[in-house]
Amino acid sequence: EAENRPPSVKEVKSYFDKADAFCIASPEYNGSMTPYILNLLTWMSRPIDSNDNMYSSFTGKHALVMAASPGALGGLRSLVPMQDLLLNMGTTVLPQKLAVGGAFKAFDEHGMLVNERQKGMLENACHSLMKVARTKANEEEICKAVAKYADYGNLPLN
């Protein structure tokens, strides 16, 4: 398989490997994610060398999924297959999701959402993702701090 791998896969996979979390947005394509997103995720799931494990770029990480579509549902149907794929690869998918309907009119000339409610939903979802990613990235230090004060009588409470 390695000889058939596109040259850019190793470079892109290094970004996935380094990421603490993922935010994956896709337009809806026949009720699912686009073939491009599926192909990208499939290539990222493949080992690069003998030291790499299948799904290592995804296992233990968190993701936020969102979609946009010109239709009224905003790509909502595409989120379940995307979530299922990520779950199968060992990623925890946050329950917050965003599906933007009427996508041709949903964004201004700068690519920003025009609907204040949708903006708020996006900000809240991204905040949640950053919070779990930060916690996961600092997990070892958090565990050390908890272990240090395992006897709750020694907690430095003010």
pLDDT in tens, 94-127: 999 999 999 999 999 999 999 999 999 999 999 9
Q: For residue 86, is pLDDT > 90?
A: yes
Angstrom distance (rounded) from CA 66 to CA 86: 13
Instruction: Give the strand pairing for 62-68 and 21-27.
Output: parallel
* SS3 call for 15: helix
Element (H, E) at 25: strand 21-27
Angstrom distance (rounded) from CA 158 to CA 66: 42
Q: For residue 150, is pLDDT > 60?
A: yes
| pLDDT score at 115 | 93
* One-character DSSP codes across 114-150: --HHHHHHHHHHHHHHHHHHHHHHTHHHHHHHHHHT-
